[in-house]
Amino acid sequence: MKRVIAFGNPLLDTIVLLQDKSLLEKYNLDVDGQKEISLSEMEALKEDIKDYDKTVTAGGCAQNTLKILQWLLKKEYSVTMCGAIGGDSEGKLLEEILKQHGIEPHYIVHKAYPTGTTVSLVTNDNRSLVAHLGAAEIVPLQYIHGTDIITQIEQSDLVYMEGFFLTKRTKTATFILNHCTSHNKMFAFNLCGEYLVDSLPELVDEFLSQADIIFGNRKEFDKICSLKGVSVENFLTALSEHGRGKIIAVTNGPSAVMCFGHGESCVAQAPTLSTEEIVDTTGAGDSFAGGFLAGYLQEKSLKECLQLGCHAAYTIIKRRGCTVPEFSAS
């Protein structure tokens, strides 16, 4: 049985359908935006939506990717999620949901902090995402040394990390990266956001240099290349040939997805969706990564990995939130 271990922000996602914009106005939220809010604001928001119809699911980039991975692999692989939660009912619910997806939670529990949560306020075709990360941001290096995480890394076929894990956990993230490199472990990294490139440019460079598989969207790579003064195509080609070689997948919204690696480049185009078919683009990039990695673990060609990634993203954006269909994909 192949093994995958991932590191990221374990978040409990709540998706709420709104009839009007009154809640957005109350919390000064954009119709289609993202915002971190304080614990008191999150508690007040939860009170305001307690009687709304809602969908609750496991969220966060890495967890979204693992859900898609296990869906496509029919839960036949050993998959572990690492991170931190609070000692509350939300944390217990998150563990239960993850296990239903065939994912083993390996969380550190901080009793003095709340479990990280996000609320997606949906109005028509738009959604405003608010988050309070809480305990998710606290993963000290002692956690890695004080558990069997190092052993699990060494026994894994793939180690995956979301870019958000780099913030406030730099020592932990860097140790994991270096340990994978020194033990010849396949390491996959998702850039996750343009702001990471701006705020942590040297650290992002280090991860791009050492990672074996890299995911990012065109805007993120445009930001990197603008800082370096090079073209995206030349940068990606050179990066794919760096060291022992690496695979780089670049998404670009509804446009074709590009992939560089193994001395070649290829593209794939997801089926075109009508406006009516697009329900929620939340988690589309995470779903693509999950689909691509499912193909990679099954030793499919780069083209097939791209196609599987596009299939996953295509499926998820037709659903509310990053929720997995009941059936198994063929």
Phi, psi of 26 (to 5 degrees): -60, -40
Nearest to 112 by CA among 84, 131, 140: 84
Q: Give the CA angle between residues 67, 72, 78 to the nearest 5°.
A: 65
CA atoms within 13 A on the CB side of 287: 24
**Strand ordering across the sheet containing 3-7:** 103-110, 78-86, 3-7, 158-162, 187-190, 213-217, 247-251, 257-261, 264-268
Q: Active site includes 20?
A: no
Which of these is catalytic: 13, 212, 280, 286? 286
Quick one: tokens of 292? 């691509």
Residue with tokens 């309070």: 132
| Residue 44 CB contacts under 8 Å (≥ 6 apart), including other chains | none
Identify whether the C-beta of residue 207 lies closer than 8 Å to the C-beta of residue 189.
Answer: yes
Query: What b/e string do you get for 256-286 counting C-beta neighbours within 10 Å, with b at 16 or more?
Result: ebbbbbeeeebebebeeeeeeeeebbbbbbb
Q: Which residues pair with 213 in a beta bridge?
A: 188, 247
* Residues annotated catalytic, as ranges: 286
